A and B are shown apart, each in its own frame.
Chain A
Amino acid sequence: MKIRTKNDLEKMREKGLKNLYPKETKVSVGMATCGLSTGADKVYEAIQDEVEKGKLPIQLAQTGCIGFCQREPVVDILEPGKPRVFYQEVTPDRAKELIHRWLKNEVVGDWLLCKMEKEDWIAEDRVQDYPIRQIPKGIDGTPSYHQVPFYNKQLKIALRNCGFINPDHIEEYVARGGYISLYKALFEMKPEEIIEEVKRSGLRGRGGAGFLTGNKWETCRRAKGDQKFILCNADEGDPGAYMDRSILEGDPHSVVEGMIIGAYAIGAHEGFIYVRNEYPLAIQKLLIALQQAEEAGLLGDDILGSGFSLKINLFRGGGAFVCGESTALMASIEGKVGEPRAKHIHTTESGLWDKPSNLNNVETWNNVPIILSRGAGWYSKIGTDQSKGTKVFSIVGKVKNTGLIEVPMGITLREIVYDIGGGVPDGKKFKAVQTGGPSGGCIPESLINLPVDFDRLTEVGSMMGSGGMIVMDESTCMVDVAKYFMDFLKGESCGKCTSCREGTKRMHEILTEIAEGRGTMDHIELLKELGWVTAEASLCQLGGTAPNPVLSTIRYFQEEYEEHILHKRCPAKVCRALLQYRILSNVCTKCGRCAKVCPVKAITGKKKTKKETGEPFSIDAKKCIKCGMCFETCKFEAVEVQ
């Protein structure tokens, strides 16, 4: 169906609403990558089988991720007249049981994540109430969505549709307020007015550096050139950050709509979305979305009859981290190797094929439609002075609740780690949060009350990056973390600048020396000096920020470095060369499990049986490869690491 008028859009919306809120029971399975990795596909099949076999009055749907990835697979049930419920950690067997119980108006309280009485439609400032006439048995005591600690401080703008719509159905996106902003942009606003609105919103790029989006658009619009390009950076390479993947897999149209609006504002007629090769599902969902948008007349020639035309191409990356850098990304699209160039002239003036090019990342584009529909005034009320709106963070690592969260800028690290994340598991002590990927740094516990926004993170020697937050506890070694990032960066440095190519390599070598007990105190000074040179003499921000993980760990955790150097000890018990495994003979129950799993047969002893008393097991330090299998296997804590 081609959309030409507002009425057509309204018709599509009605169709979408019927999909979203059918008359019969609707069961949706979260099938983004995180769901699939825990068996969501098997859950879906099990429900499908059951529905077909029993001819059950159930409509089955697929959706994206609602953010609480740790609790995947998540299945939600929606039936008119009842509260919506979300089940967590669903298995195929549980899935069968819970749908049968539902049809008998029952829920299994213990398996529920939460219930929901209403839905926010952030795009239009509407709340969709579920009229409740019937309460399922067993639901008492189940928290509402906003009562769940993981969700109660969240404000979902970028993740507005993830987990609520089927990403393969454009109608469902339209039903929740999608493409309304595009209509407004094309018919009710001049390009300059759109840019002004984005400028007033205070939106800053969500990909890393946090440049003001409106200003970037303005420079690109004013740049001389008959042909301009619009680009989307979906080469989300920061390890530990995956919000862009989730948006693309769960709500691809939000990015497409943002790009069309941006292209119209800037005056571009061709665009590219550069997606990581490691995200096959995101590529698949985007291709479907682009095709649907084209079929609906929202992309291609004469969009909505406005006379404006835009073509968007999808470009698959080749698995190179450096291609997330703007000039490297553009070189890659041109068919060259992804090497950055000096940016004396900005890409907004001379970018892809030397034409003015505007590049923003997935989350930035996704915010644009909301800014137009809700207004810059509304948007700029959220967040801090210099960082407006919300930011999606992936809170992962050593924290109880892991997943994607979206919070207003300015929220403190403490609220993120403790209130939303639930703190560190297994009674361990919190040590640091790593933000900003390989360009960022580690923020120590003493700064836990830091309000999180672009500038505050930079002030403490880290950065926002794309929003990865890796929580570290006492069992994470900071020398090892620095070494890890240098290993990453030496592998991903494109090699063009000597300072980056050699600097990361040498820093890695030195960190390895320290981690293996051959470090000297001079090494710390040398690392600082090398870090300075690497940052100063490299062309792009990969090298420019490469020393951050090293410098920030030295800044906040120098005593850990000294412990490795002076006492040849790794306090977190990570650096293998400094560890010693041994079995406490007075604790050993002589079960022999450790000897069984030891890959190098370094453990000997005599198993206790009914006839024999056995002998405690012990480890031959010469043979031991310190793989930790015995430590992980022993149920009696008889294996000690020193």
Chain B
Amino acid sequence: MEVSKIDSIIEQYGARESALLAILQDIQAKENYLPKDALEYVSQKMHIPLVRIFRIATFYNALSLKPRGLHKIDVCLGTACHVRGGSKILEKIERDLGVSVGETTKDNRFTLESVRCIGCCSLGPVAVVDGKVFGRLGQDKVSGLLKEFK
């Protein structure tokens, strides 16, 4: 990641420790994940030990140290989605894409993850693809949904 880009993100928040999470989230928004060199640069620039930054990066679910695919699928496994068959939706997507939850497809097209409730419980089971929410899913709707993002 270009140093100038990281600089401008840090500048936006100020090099305060309390801005660390927001800075990491913005880096991830740009790069799709947290590249190691970017974290090393943030560490030097903000005078925060790298180990502390890694601790944050591995603690929060929203942050990823692994590159993600072109499209990100989050299948909701909140309680309401669970009792309406959310895990079956997840398994169907796993089978269709040939990956397990947390993995990225070989063609780098999809990263499949699960999320603990996105607050769309009335319309469960629900999945989010690239930030767009799809409600009232069924196993039969999965293939069509994935095709939209091929």
Contacts and interface: CB of A to CB of B under 8 A. Distances in A.
- Per DSSP, chain A at the interface is mixed
A539 B124 CA distance: 33
B149 to A, nearest CB: 16
5 closest A-B pairs by CB: A318-B60, A242-B119, A239-B78, A69-B122, A319-B61
Given A239-B116, A277-B25, A37 B121 contact: no
B134 to A, nearest CB: 6
A524 interface: no
Interface in B95-150: 95, 115-124, 126, 131-136, 138-140
9 contacts: A36-B133, A38-B123, A237-B116, A239-B78, A280-B131, A318-B59, A397-B79, A627-B92, A628-B139
B101 to A, nearest CB: 12
Given A38-B136, A240-B78, A492 B59 contact: no
B59 A338 contact: yes
Interface residues of B, number: 47
Given A397-B79, A402-B121, 15 more contacts: A33-B120, A70-B122, A237-B116, A240-B79, A240-B117, A242-B117, A245-B119, A318-B21, A318-B56, A320-B59, A337-B59, A437-B79, A484-B79, A488-B116, A628-B139
A470 B60 contact: no
B115 A278 contact: yes
Contacts of B140: 597, 632-633
A239 B83 contact: no
A258 interface: no
B117 A238 contact: yes
A398 interface: yes
A336 B57 CA distance: 11
A368 B16 CA distance: 33
B84 interface: yes
B134 A37 contact: yes
Given A280-B131, A437-B79, A627 B88 contact: yes
Interface stretch (A9-17, A188-196, A327-335, A444-452): A327-335
A239 B117 contact: yes
Contact of B19 (A335, A402, A633): A335
Nearest to A70: B122
B20 interface: yes
B121 A240 contact: yes
A294 B133 CA distance: 31
A37 B79 contact: no
Query: Number of contact residues on A: which range applies?
Result: 35 or more
Most B C-beta atoms less than 10 A away, residue of A70, A237, A277, A318: A318
A338 B80 CA distance: 26
A543 interface: no
A316 interface: yes
Contacts of B95: 599, 627
A315 B63 CA distance: 15
Contacts of A561: none
B123 A70 contact: yes
Interface in A135-192: none
Given A69-B123, A484-B79, A33 B118 contact: yes
B20 A468 contact: no
Most A C-beta atoms less than 10 A away, residue of B17, B55, B59: B59
Given A397-B83, A629-B139, A320 B61 contact: yes
Contacts of B131: 280
Contacts of B91: 627
A316 B24 CA distance: 11
B117 to A, nearest CB: 4
Nearest to B18: A335
B82 to A, nearest CB: 5
Nearest to A353: B18
B50 interface: no
Contact of B21 (A240, A332, A403): A332
B60 A403 contact: no
Most B C-beta atoms less than 10 A away, residue of A245, A319, A338, A398: A319
Contact of A37 (B59, B117, B120, B138): B120
A53 to B, nearest CB: 26
Contacts of B77: 239, 488
Given A72-B123, A319-B61, A239 B138 contact: no
B83 A318 contact: no
Interface in B58-90: 59-63, 77-84, 88
Contacts of B1: none
A396 B124 contact: yes
Interface in B5-33: 16-22, 25
Contacts of A403: 122
